[in-house]
Amino acid sequence: MKTMNIFKTVALAMLMPAMLLTTACSSDDDLVNNAANTETVANKGYALPVTVNVTREGDKGSNRASYTDNGDKTGSLAFSAGDKLFVTGNHAEAGNFAGTLDYDAVSKKFSGTMTTQNKYTGTIDDLMASAAAFLLPAGYESYGFNSIKGNGYNAMISFDFEKAFALTKAAAVEQFSYEFADSYNSGFALAPMNAIASFTISGLTANKEVAVSFDAGVAGVIGGNVTTSAEGVATFAVGVFPGKLEDCTLTVGGNNIAMPTKTTEAGHIYNISRSVAPAATDLSTLTDDYEAQDGETLTGTLSSNVKISIADGATVTLKDVTINGVNDTSYKWAGITCAGDATIILNGTNTVTGFSERYPGIFVSSGKTLVINGTGELNASSNGSYDNGSGGAGIGGGNGMNCGNIEIQSGTVTATGKENGAGIGGGYNANCGNITISGGTVTATGGYRAAGIGGGKRQSTSSCGNITISGGTIIATGGEDAAGIGGGRGNGAVSKSSCGTITITSGVTSVTATKGSDDAQSIGAGRYGDCGAVTIEDPSKVTQN
């Protein structure tokens, strides 16, 4: 805790809310006949009874005199029982003087005893003309943000800046009520001297106590602990100097929080919301199955045979990831499993290979949607060889495993299916949802009897949804008897492989589709298959081999 002379406090002290409240004016005309004035108090000087009126400057909706907390609590501050007014100054006759006045809720006045260094015979107004006053909110002694040091006419205010921290905005408004008046005119008119920064930080670990450190510059470091909500949100507030918030630094749970470019004003509340991206997870450190969460970045080379999945609804960045799954039936999972809706952002160069031969490089659950974008590269493939009936797609489904929708928006994507599995789309003997490509550079190669983009080989069932290509550079090559873009091979004339409509708009840069044999179409159906309508808006951009 720092202790400083009251006359030096104005420039260094924490600043606080402005409220408006008027009280009746009261002054003593002459203290010469006051018995207390002639009694010397040991080590304190002379005691003078004082009653003064105090007002608050301003009551704007944007300052702390009226406030809304989290949208469901509105309050307006006023003086309350327990509030104190610390008054100090220096007078030619009285010398140093100081005193703490208590607020009376009935009379709505501050009254108490002033202690002067020397005997004083003048009026209260004359004495107070050289005084400064500081409001101390109820409970200030136990809270510890500010306190009175010393006693008698030598008393002064002390501030502990580390305690300018509260768990709610409302608590901060109440606790950091540092108001100051440096002039007296038949009463003190208090002005706010600090602002409140109210923070909402999301993206943290749920139900966990995290440390908060706010470096407020000249005021020092403000800190405390917050327990996050079930949604991983931390809320707290601090008292701050008027000035540039961007000059302050904030750390929550070890995460550096970017500060807004904003100049604060005394008496105002500033609501600041930020989201914390979880730290990058290095796959080389994992020894157990792992589910990546929303906002997370995966990086490094997976060195254990564990299952990597993405949480439902999460957006995850792959940054220079290598997952080389081993072709072993003991590990029945894809290189990356999307159990629900997911977005993968590509950064750097990434390679993802499935584990057991029946699984894809990246699996998309039936009825769900995977979105791929970013500026990086992805090489995704199934495992196994062309003679073991693997049936996994590069991106999509696996052997007998239906897959959901696949949407590629940007990035450089290379997808390779193994025997009977599409490059992008369905696995062997399984259905696939819609496939949409709106940008990027996409190279898709189907396994034996599977399409480059579309369906896998059908034994008893195999279908692909609609395929829409509206942008990017696309190269799609089908396996034997399969289309480059469209359907895989069916199982004879009765058990056909099917796909929905195929639309290639004029927004593409180029499309090259190569069929696996003359028994298939470059864009359309594979052998023993059928597809919906094929629409090519600009044939000059499409090459069919």
Q: List, for residues 409-438, the tens digit of each pLDDT value.
A: 999 999 999 888 999 999 988 899 999 999
Asked if residue 161 has pLDDT above 50, the reply is yes
- What is the average pLDDT across 329-357? 94
**Could you tell me the two tokens for 267?**
């008496």
**Could you tell me the two tokens for 152?**
């008698």
- What is the average pLDDT across 183-198? 85
pTM (two decimals): 0.57
pLDDT band at 278; cut points 50, 70, 90: low
435 contacts 468 by C-beta, under 8 angstroms: yes
Q: What is the pLDDT of residue 168?
A: 85
Asked if residue 65 has pLDDT above 60, the reply is no
pLDDT band at 389; cut points 50, 70, 90: low
CA dist., res. 147 & res. 9, Å (int): 13
Helices (H) and strands (E) in the chain, counts: 4, 51
pLDDT band at 466; cut points 50, 70, 90: very high
Is residue 192 classed as helix, strand or coil in its secondary structure? Answer: strand
For the chain, give the mean pLDDT.
83
Asked if residue 10 has pLDDT above 60, the reply is no
DSSP conformation letters of 102-168: EEETTTTEEEEEEEESS---S-HHHHHTTEEEEEE-TTHHHH-SEEEES-GGG-EEEE-GGG-EESS
Q: What is the pLDDT of residue 195?
A: 83
pLDDT band at 72; cut points 50, 70, 90: very low
Q: What is the pLDDT of residue 332?
A: 92
Among the residue ranges 15-24, 107-116, 339-348, 504-513, the one predicted with the least confidence is 15-24
443 alpha carbon, distance to own chain's centre: 36
Asked if residue 71 has pLDDT above 80, the reply is no
Return left, alpha or beta for 516; rule: phi > 0 is left, psi -120 to 50 is alpha, else beta: alpha
Q: What is the pLDDT of residue 334?
A: 96
CATH superfamily of this structure's domain 195-275: Carboxypeptidase-like, regulatory domain (2.60.40.1120)
For 202-219, what is each residue's pLDDT tens digit? 988 788 899 999 998 777
Residue 201 or 38, more confident: 201
Q: What is the pLDDT of residue 177?
A: 67
CA dist., res. 125 & res. 132, Å (int): 13
Asked if residue 281 has pLDDT above 60, the reply is yes
- Residues near 200 by Cβ (< 8 Å), separated by ≥ 6? 233, 234, 235, 271, 272, 273, 274
- Taking CA atoms, 441 is separated from 52, 344, 512, 545, in Å, by 78, 16, 12, 19
Residue 130 or 68, more confident: 130
Among the residue ranges 56-65, 164-173, 262-271, 380-389, the one predicted with the least confidence is 56-65
Nearest to 434 by CA among 442, 424, 421: 424
Task: Annotate 163-195 with b (16+ C-beta within 10 A) or e (fewer).
Answer: bbbbbebbebbbbbbbbbbeebeebbbbbbbbb
Asked if residue 266 has pLDDT above 60, the reply is yes
Out of 5-14, 184-193, 248-257, the most confident range is: 248-257
Map out the domains of the chain as residue ranges: 2-162+174-191, 195-275, 292-497
Asked if residue 388 has pLDDT above 80, the reply is no
pLDDT band at 74; cut points 50, 70, 90: very low
Asked if residue 137 has pLDDT above 90, the reply is no
Q: What is the pLDDT of residue 418?
A: 87
Nearest to 408 by CA among 344, 452, 475: 344
Asked if residue 39 has pLDDT above 70, the reply is no
**Could you tell me the two tokens for 138?**
């109820």
Q: What is the pLDDT of residue 16?
A: 28
CA dist., res. 476 & res. 468, Å (int): 14
pLDDT band at 36; cut points 50, 70, 90: very low
pLDDT band at 385; cut points 50, 70, 90: low
- Residues near 288 by Cβ (< 8 Å), separated by ≥ 6? 306
Q: What is the pLDDT of residue 304?
A: 94
pLDDT band at 30; cut points 50, 70, 90: very low
**Could you tell me the two tokens for 318?**
């792959």
